[in-house]
Amino acid sequence: MNAVELRGVSKRYANGTLANDGVSLCVAQGEIHAIVGENGAGKSTVMKMLYGLEQPSAGEILVNGTAARFKHPREAIAAGIGLVPQHLELVPSFTVAENVVLGSEPMRGIVIDRRRAAADVAEVSQRFGLEVDPHAMVRDLSVGEQQRVEILKTLYRGAKIVLLDEPSAVLTPQETQALFVALRKLVTAGFTVILITHKLSEVREVSDRFTVMRAGKVTGQAESRGARADDITEMIVGRPVAPLRVSRVLKHGAAALVAVQDLTLHGGDGQTHVEDVSFDIAAGEILGIAGVEGNGQAALADLLGGLRQPSRGTAMLEGRVFTGLGVRAVRTSRVALIPEDRLHNGVAADMSITENVIAVDYHKPPLSRLGWLDTGAARTLAQRVLTDYGVVARSPDQPIAGLSGGNMQKVVLAREVASQPRFLVASQPTRGVDIGAAQFLRQQLVDLRDKGAAVLLISADLDEVLALSDRIAVMFRGRIVAHFAANAADARELGLYMTGLASQEGATALLDAPFTPARAEEMA
C-alpha cells in the first residue's frame, strides 16, 4: 500500500493561478521520497494540500489507501501527517520539551506534568537518534538542534508520514549528515518521509525515489540510486544545462583592491553583530564568506553597502574609505550591492522594470542630461537588460513585482553589474532561484571577477561558496574564525568552523595572512 497517492490533483487559486495541473504521484510506505523542481513548479502547493493548508480544486488524495481531504492541519495531524517547515516555528524562550508538547501537554490534574513531558521527549529523541536536551532553552540551540525539535514535535503528535521543506537549507555539512541518519532511522522504523529539496546531491544520497515537477505538472519520476545529476537537472529545467567551469586564481600576497580593517558593529540591542572583521580582496578575485545564517554576514553586507554605520573600523577601496558615509557615497566609490532580501531591499516593487534598472545611475549620463531624465535611453537600457540576461517579461514598462523571483534577481544583478563596480558585495545572490537561472547568475559573478573587479560572495549555500570562491573566510558569531584557499577547502572542515567546533585565534582573511591549517584529527 502507498502511504500517499495523488490522482490528477489540480489547484487553481482565486486569482486564476494554476499551481498544480493534474499531479499524480505515489509515495510508498517506508521510503524517503524527494520532490524537486524549479521555483513555482508547484512543489510547496503539494505539501500544503497534504497538510491541510490548501485544498485541491480537482483530483483525489489518498493516505494509506483512504481518500482524504484535509480542511485544516489538525485533520492532517490526526491522520498521521506532520510537517517540518523550512522556517522553524519554535518559541525561543521555551525549553525543548515545552516546545515539543505545546498544545498537547500531558496533565496532572489541572497542572501541566512537566516531568512527564521531559521524559516523553527524551524517550522519543533517543529512540530516533534525535538527541537533544529536553530541558535546554531553544534560543540556546544551534539551527540543526532546533530542526530536531521541529521533527520531534511531529513525532510526538503521532505522525507516521513526515513532510520536510528544504530541510538542509541552513545546515552545516555535519548537521546535514546527522539529519540524514535520523531520517534513515525513521524509515527503518516504518515511517515515510517526503522532502522538498533543491540540492541534487541530497536527492541521490538520502532519497529512495524522486519526482520532478515543472510548471505545475509531474515531468518525471525515477529511482534515486544511480541517477546522474546532469540528468536530474535536465528533467527539472527541461533542457541541458552546461556545467559552470571556474578557474581558480590565487592572489595570496597580492595588492589589495579592497581593504577591510577591524570592522565592528554594535547593535542597539546591546549585541555585537560584527566584531573586528579584517579581510582584503585583490582585483580579479572572489572572496567567499561561509557561515550559518545569523552569524554577522547580513550585517557585514549592510556595513559595506552603506546601509549601516560601523561602530569602529573601516573599509577602503583603492585606498579610500567608503564605509560610514552613506549609500550615495558608497555608490560614488564604485561599490555595488546585491542585497540578501531582493524584494524589500533590492527593488521598488510597485515601480517598472525600467525604473528599477536605472535606480542606481539615473542621475548620470547617458540616462540624464542637464538634470533631465532621458526616458528613451532608460527604456533602451532596460530592454537590453531583458535581452542580455534572458529576463522573461512582457515589456520594460511592467511592474517588477510581476516577475518571478529568478527574473527579478536577474534584473537586480544586471543593474549592479551595469554600474561597472570595482567592488561587488553579493549577498545570497541565487537564493530562491531555479537551477538554470542560478547557473547564469553565477557566471556573471565570475565574468565580473575576470574583468578585474573584487567580489565578496556571502552565501548560505556552501556548494556555491566552494564552487565560485578563490579564497574562503568562515564567520562565526560575528568574527572571522578561519581562512582557506578555496581549492584546498573541504565542506566538512568548513563545517567545523561554521558551528564553532573549531576556531583559529585572531584569524583574518588578509592577502598576506597565513591560511588556517587543516585539522586532520577532526577530518579522520
Q: Residue 517 gets which letter from DSSP?
A: P
b/e burial code for range 259-297 (CB count within 10 A of at least 16 → b): bbbebbbeeeeeebbbbbbbbbbbbbbbbbbbbbeebbb
Q: How confident is the model at residue 105 (pLDDT cuts 50, 70, 90)?
A: confident
pLDDT tens per residue, range 285-308: 999 999 988 899 999 999 999 999
Q: Over 70: is that where the pLDDT of 508 sits? A: yes
What distance in Å separates the CA atoms of residue 335 and residue 312, rounded to the nearest whole number?
A: 20
Of 41, 36, 34, 37, nearest in space to 19 by CA = 41
CB 406 within 8 A of CB 430: no
Of 446, 358, 438, 439, nearest in space to 406 by CA = 438
Q: Over 60: is that where the pLDDT of 522 sits? A: no
Mean per-residue pLDDT for 503-520?
Answer: 89
pLDDT of residue 4: 96
CATH class label, 2-237: alpha beta
Q: What is the mean pLDDT of the chain?
A: 90
Q: How confident is the model at residue 451 (pLDDT cuts 50, 70, 90)?
A: very high
Q: Residue type for 484, please? A: F
pLDDT tens per residue, range 194-239: 999 888 888 998 999 999 998 899 999 999 988 888 888 888 888 8
More confident residue, 260 or 247: 260
pLDDT of residue 163: 96
pLDDT tens per residue, range 32-91: 999 998 877 889 899 999 999 999 999 999 999 999 999 999 999 999 999 998 778 899
Q: How confident is the model at residue 523 (pLDDT cuts 50, 70, 90)?
A: very low
Q: Over 60: is that where the pLDDT of 521 sits? A: no
Q: Over 60: is that where the pLDDT of 125 sits? A: yes
Domains 2-237 and 247-334+422-524 share a fold: yes
CB 453 within 8 A of CB 446: no
Handedness of CA 328, 334, 340, 341 (dihedral sign): positive
**CATH assignment of 247-334+422-524?**
3.40.50.300
- Domains of the chain, by residue range, sit at 2-237, 247-334+422-524, 342-420
Q: Over 80: is that where the pLDDT of 170 sits? A: no
Which backbone phi and psi does 260 adopt, to 5 degrees? -110, 130
Q: What region, left, alpha or beta, does residue 157 occupy, with left being phi > 0 and alpha being psi -120 to 50 degrees?
A: alpha
pLDDT of residue 130: 87
CB 287 within 8 A of CB 315: no
Share of the chain above pLDDT 90, in %: 61
Q: How confident is the model at residue 406 (pLDDT cuts 50, 70, 90)?
A: confident
pLDDT tens per residue, range 239-255: 887 778 888 888 888 99
Q: Residue 344 gets which letter from DSSP?
A: I
Q: CA neighbours within 13 Å on the CB side: how many for 504?
A: 20
Of 20, 7, 11, nearest in space to 59 by CA = 7
